[in-house]
C-alpha cells in the first residue's frame, strides 16, 4: 500500500461508527414519528447511540487537533476513523460512560486517545488539544437544545423533545466534568502546559486517579447538590426546564415503568 493510500485509509470513517450513527438516526425517527410500540425503548436506543456518537466525536476532536498540532501518529492509530474500537481504553471511553448513563444519567468523561505530546510544539497547541474534546460536548449540547433556545418547539413531538432534553443534560455534565482542572481530565490538560515543570512532575503520578477522585467527591451530598445546581442552571439558560430533563430520564429508563406520566396527554 502506498503512503498516500495508507493515509487515506487512516482517515476513512469507520463502518462501526456509521452503524452507530444509523442506529441513532433510525431510533430518532422512531421517537419522532411515534413508530415504536414502546416510546421508552426507542428513547433509550436513541439516547445511548447518540451518546456514543458524541463520545466518538469528542475523541476525534482531540485527535484531529493533535494532527494539526504536529502528532501525525494519530492517523496510524486509527483515531481519525471515528471507530470507538480503536481507542486506547475502550472500557473507560465507551463502556463505562454508557453504563453510567444507564444507571443514573450522568455524562462520564473518559480517556481514550493517546496523543504523543512531544511531537506538538507550543503550549497553546497543547491546551487546544485538551480543550477540543469537551468543546465538542458543548457544541453537541447547543445543537440538542437549539429548538429550546430558538423557540422552535412547535411541531416537535413531546417524546423527542424530552429525549433531546435528557441527551443535552448528559452533554452538559460531560463538558463540566471534563473542564474541571483535575489531573487526568481535559481541564487539567488545558492548564498543564502553563504550570512549572516541578509541579507537573509532582502531579503526574496521581493523574490516573483524578477521575475516580471526582466521582468519589460527587457522592458527597453537598457537592452533588452544587454540581447539579450548576448543570440545571446551564440547562435553564439554554431554555430547557428541569421537569423536561426528569421526564426525559424517566422515558430513557423505561424499565422503571414511569414514562407514561410524561407522554400521556
36 half-sphere exposure, CB direction, 13 A CA radius: 18
Report the C-alpha gap between 108 and 86 in whole angstroms.
Answer: 19
Report the C-alpha gap between 84 and 15 in whole angstroms.
Answer: 11
Active site residue 59: yes
End-to-end CA distance of the chain: 60
Dihedral, CA of residue 193, residue 194, residue 196 and residue 202, to nearest 10: -50
Question: Which among 48, 91, 58 is positioned nearest to 178, based on CA atoms?
Answer: 58
Helix axes 123-149 and 39-69, enclosed angle (nearest 10): 150
* Catalytic entry in 59, 204, 236, 244: 59
15-40: string of b/e by CB count within 10 Å (b at 16+)?
eebeebbebbeebbebbbeeebeebb
Residue 7: CB atoms within 10 A of its CB come to: 14
Supply the residues annotated as catalytic.
59
Amino acid at each position: 500500500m502506498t503512503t498516500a493510500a495508507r493515509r487515506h485509509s487512516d482517515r476513512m470513517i469507520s463502518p462501526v461508527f456509521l452503524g452507530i450513527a444509523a442506529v441513532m438516526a433510525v431510533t430518532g425517527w422512531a421517537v419522532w414519528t411515534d413508530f415504536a410500540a414502546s416510546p421508552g425503548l426507542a428513547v433509550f436506543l436513541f439516547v445511548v447511540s447518540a451518546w456514543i456518537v458524541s463520545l466518538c466525536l469528542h475523541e476525534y476532536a482531540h485527535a484531529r487537533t493533535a494532527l494539526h498540532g504536529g502528532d501525525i501518529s494519530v492517523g496510524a492509530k486509527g483515531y481519525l476513523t471515528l471507530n470507538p474500537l480503536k481507542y486506547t481504553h475502550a472500557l473507560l471511553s465507551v463502556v463505562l460512560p454508557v453504563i453510567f448513563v444507564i444507571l443514573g444519567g450522568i455524562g462520564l468523561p473518559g480517556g481514550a486517545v493517546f496523543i504523543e505530546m512531544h511531537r506538538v510544539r507550543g503550549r497553546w497547541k497543547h491546551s487546544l488539544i485538551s480543550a477540543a474534546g469537551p468543546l465538542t460536548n458543548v457544541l453537541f449540547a447547543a445543537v440538542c437544545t437549539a429548538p429550546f433556545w430558538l423557540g422552535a418547539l412547535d411541531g416537535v413531538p413531546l417524546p423527542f423533545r424530552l429525549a433531546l432534553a435528557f441527551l443535552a443534560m448528559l452533554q452538559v455534565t460531560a463538558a463540566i466534568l471534563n473542564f474541571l482542572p483535575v489531573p487526568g481530565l481535559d481541564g487539567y490538560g488545558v492548564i498543564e502546559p502553563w504550570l512549572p515543570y516541578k509541579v507537573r512532575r509532582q502531579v503526574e503520578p496521581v493523574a490516573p486517579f483524578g477521575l475516580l477522585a471526582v466521582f468519589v467527591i460527587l457522592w458527597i451530598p453537598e457537592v452533588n447538590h452544587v454540581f447539579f445546581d450548576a448543570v440545571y442552571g446551564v440547562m435553564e439558560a439554554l431554555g430547557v426546564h428541569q421537569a423536561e430533563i426528569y421526564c426525559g430520564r424517566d422515558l430513557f429508563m423505561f424499565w422503571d415503568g414511569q414514562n407514561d406520566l410524561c407522554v400521556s396527554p
